[in-house]
Structure 1
Amino acid sequence: MGRRQGVGIGFLGLAALAAAPPPQPPELAIHVGHLIDPERGLVDHDRLVVLRDGKIASVGAWGGHERSDALDWSARWVLPGLIDMHTHVADGFGSTNDPAEPLKHSAEATILKGAEAARIMLHSGFTTVRDVGVYRGLSDVALRDAIAAGQVEGPRMIVAGGYITISGGGGAVTGAPKGTVIGPEFRIGEAHTPAEARRRVRLLIDGGADFIKLIASGAVLAIGSEPGALELTPAMQQAACNEAKARGRYCIAHAHGAEAIKVAIRAGARTIEHASLIDDEGLMLAKQRGVWLDMDIFNGDWIEQVGTREGWPAEYLRKNRDTTDVQRQGFAKAVKLGVKLTFGTDAAVYPFGLGARQFAYMTRFGMVPMQAIAAATSEAAKALGQEGKLGSVRPGAAGDLVAVDADPVADIAALRCISDVVQAGRLVHRADAAQRCDRP
């Protein structure tokens, strides 16, 4: 198939260019000054953390167990590696003023751009990402596998493979000049009936997808698609979620509109992405069903400022204005009601590496800093079905840690300044003081 051939070529290109990964250290000991445990909501001081075989082997007091070979983080605040639950790393390119941007990049160029985006994400403290859809089908699978094999530097990736969407919907490439041929690799998940939705789910899972992404409503950054409109019918969403479950996977739903959110929750979606126009009924339904909301409340400001300056389509800007403030109000309501919330930013809408800016928005709209940290660590791990394995500092968890120079529990903005990153027990990033913070 042409689609798989394109992805395969990209993977081989990455493998050829990548250097052999460094050997896994048998053990890494770290003297931690302040260890943030989001599962317990506590900060422990003067700790010795030992990582072995890529996992946390032990956490204990430093006093009486001093080790001369320990990495010195005694002046730093340390927390589990961050998890961004809503990214588009594998697409590689960011949003532009061209709605048909995905068509301008070959399979090889796309995956190489994705590799650079992955490196940036890792170095900014995100050791795990959920990549929630690509336009060129299955390119995310190739990038995930290259990272897992040690051929590309990047975060642990959980990927969707593509989108279940209607033709011309929120997950389709729209806005191309009349007569443009959009190849099948860009339409891997298009469906119009429940039976088609089931077939597309099987195709994505057979291609390596870890979960299924439904485009339940229209989108902000798509021509001809309205965020408040229901796009996938209830029957299609139910069929897709049932098929995913039968194949040992789960579904999530891009859903801005109030009705689309409720349909997706009833169909069995595990997380609702964006949830911009959620109403009180939707909030209570999410709480009752134990569904996580993954609300990207930072990037509306980026779209307004940069999109206006760079001449993004007027339709994009109008829909962004219609959803930004109301989404933040919904987020604040969700916090008060105790609805489960994770950390998802829609990385690619804004430049990769700036995702930690969202933390300040989460505290501005109702969370305390420890809640925001948990949303990007222990709570995200629960939504991934990886409780205690990711986003945790307990023994047996993945050896993923990030260090910052100031206390993020006192000032969440400290997470914009990452000094060191350890992934799977290996030090993968150490920044000079001048390079620690993202751009102002």
Structure 2
Amino acid sequence: MSRPRTPQPPVHLRAARMLDVAKGELVEPGELLIQDEHIVEVAPASVPSDATVIDLGDVTLLPGLMDMEVNLLLGGPDHRSPLNPVQDDPAVRTLRAVANARRTLRAGFTTVRNLGLFVQTGGLLLDVALKKAIDHGWIEGPRVVPAGHAITPTGGHLDPTMFQAFAPHIMPLTVEEGIANGVDEVRKAVRYQIKHGARVIKVCASNGVMSHTGPAGAQQYSDDELRAIVDEAHRAGLKVAAHCMGEQALRAALDAGIDCIEHGFLASDEAIELMVERGTFLVATTYLTEGMDVTNAAPELQAKAAEVFPRSRATISRAIQRGVRIACGTDAPAIPHGRNAKELLALVDRGMTPLAAIRAATTVAAELVDADDRGRLEAGLLADVIAVPGDPLTDIGVTQDVRFVMKGGQVYRHEDAAA
């Protein structure tokens, strides 16, 4: 819940153009009347005399964009040391997230899913704390849908001691911090995240490209464990997102009722058809396959990336062609925070139209997070508005050049359109 704000005069926001995402059309001019946190009228017939006018000039208004896979607690300032997992305490990590959240918001992304802590926190859900601070207005950042700790087996892809191949007993982790084995423990881990504020559950269903513990895509949780995780989350009204790449793991995740697949890099045509049939969301994170810096990874991991990444690009093109519900997600900091729009360019490169890519970051993402109050510029919805130069329907690249950011009627970035 956002903190109460002193009532402000209405805002008349004007620009040369506005994108009607639902119709897929540019409207000229673009005009919104905003009161407090919400849009009250599009193309207002009359404007109150006390309204504050913000004329942005020759730009296009878009709904605030959404990134469905980030980890704001990782990456960002001074993060190159491979020992970050044992150097950053929870306080430092949370302050790191403050910088990353501001950068993400200023890039035009007004809503994110923080998909699973995989760090030692003493059981604290740092992304829930970050969400609260943003909602209270203490710091600047996007609206956060927090997952708490990712649920992963010992040695699984999201076991943080796996990435640097730590020796035994370095950085011990608890069930509350997501390291859970067997049906009873995974149920407890899910319940703990829900109890302390998670709004989505993240599970590690398969190995990954940067995993030391086996081939990319190998199934890690058993079918019974996956079903137990989904059962706990769904009874609490929460969706489940699964890090999942390989065919066997994909089928197990889909059969368990997973709502959203992250990556899906090695999906077969049959698995893609199952996602279409069941309406499963896919967060493709496809830009990281060309933008992720793996030069400091172990040679065997670099070799794995060289094999998997080209295959994955073809997989995502097939998923787009078959009509899978794809939502925008970057896996930042696999790519740097603030460069989230790179994913839109990659989706277009894989075969999406610019309009479909924008919808992946607006209407489809809003559906994924069960938010009917955002994703479009319409009366009654949240005043989450950004502005970019040019025509994003012909040049998706303009989404990298955000000139104006408003979230909930409050301006966080405003640059001269001619700059």
Quick check: TM above 0.5? yes
Q: Secondary structure at the match of 2:275?
A: helix
Offset at 1:319? 2.4
Q: Are 2:105 and 1:122 aligned?
A: yes
CA distance in 2: counterparts of 1:76 and 1:292, whole angstroms: 32
Paired position in structure 2 for 1:146: 133
For residue 215 of structure 1, what is the amino acid of its counterpart? C
Paired position in structure 2 for 1:289: 278
Paired position in structure 1 for 2:178: 189
Decide which of 231, 236, 252 is 1:247's aligned counterpart.
Answer: 236
Paired position in structure 1 for 2:305: 320
Does the CA contact (< 8 Å) of 1:403 and 1:418 recur in 2? yes
Identical-pair percentage: 30
Does the CA contact (< 8 Å) of 2:165 and 2:212 recur in 1? no
Decide which of 208, 231, 234 is 2:220's aligned counterpart.
Answer: 231
CA RMSD, aligned part only?
Answer: 2.3
Paired position in structure 1 for 2:17: 34
Paired position in structure 2 for 1:71: 54
Q: Are 2:155 and 1:168 aligned?
A: yes
Unaligned runs of 5+ in 2: none
CA distance in 1: counterparts of 2:190 and 2:203, whole angstroms: 10
Q: Secondary structure at the match of 1:273?
A: strand
CA gap 1:27/1:65 in 2 versus in 1, 3 angstroms: closer
Paired position in structure 2 for 1:214: 203
CA gap 1:433/1:48 in 2 versus in 1, 3 angstroms: closer
CA distance in 1: counterparts of 2:32 and 2:376, whole angstroms: 12
CA gap 1:25/1:257 in 2 versus in 1, 3 angstroms: farther
Higher mean C-alpha deviation, range 220-229 or range 102-111:
220-229
Offset at 1:316? 2.9
Offset at 1:93? 4.5
Does the CA contact (< 8 Å) of 1:214 and 1:251 recur in 2? yes
Structure 1 residues 269-288: aligned runs within 5 Å? 269-288=258-277
Q: Are 2:388 and 1:366 aligned?
A: no
Does the CA contact (< 8 Å) of 2:289 and 2:313 recur in 1? no
Offset at 1:66? 9.7
Does the CA contact (< 8 Å) of 1:46 and 1:74 recur in 2? no
CA distance in 1: counterparts of 2:79 and 2:413, whole angstroms: 29
Paired position in structure 2 for 1:406: 390
For residue 364 of structure 2, what is the amino acid of its counterpart? E
Decide which of 367, 375, 383 is 1:382's aligned counterpart.
Answer: 367
Does the CA contact (< 8 Å) of 1:95 and 1:350 recur in 2? no
Q: Secondary structure at the match of 1:70?
A: strand
Offset at 1:96? 6.8
Does the CA contact (< 8 Å) of 2:176 and 2:193 recur in 1? no
CA distance in 1: counterparts of 2:169 and 2:183, whole angstroms: 28
Deviations 1:353-412 (A, max 9, x none): 11111222111111110000000001110111113x111111111110000111111110
CA distance in 2: counterparts of 1:30 and 1:274, whole angstroms: 37
Offset at 1:31? 1.2
**Structure ranking higher in helix proportion:** 1
Q: Are 2:42 and 1:53 aligned?
A: no
Paired position in structure 2 for 1:8: none
Q: Secondary structure at the match of 2:203?
A: strand
For residue 144 of structure 2, what is the amino acid of its counterpart? M
Structure 1 residues 73-88: aligned runs within 5 Å? 73-88=56-71
Decide which of 137, 143, 148 is 1:156's aligned counterpart.
Answer: 143
CA distance in 1: counterparts of 2:7 and 2:346, whole angstroms: 37
Decide which of 288, 292, 298 is 1:299's aligned counterpart.
Answer: 288
Higher mean C-alpha deviation, range 99-108 or range 231-240:
99-108
Output the TM-score relative to the length of structure 2.
0.92
Paired position in structure 1 for 2:322: 337
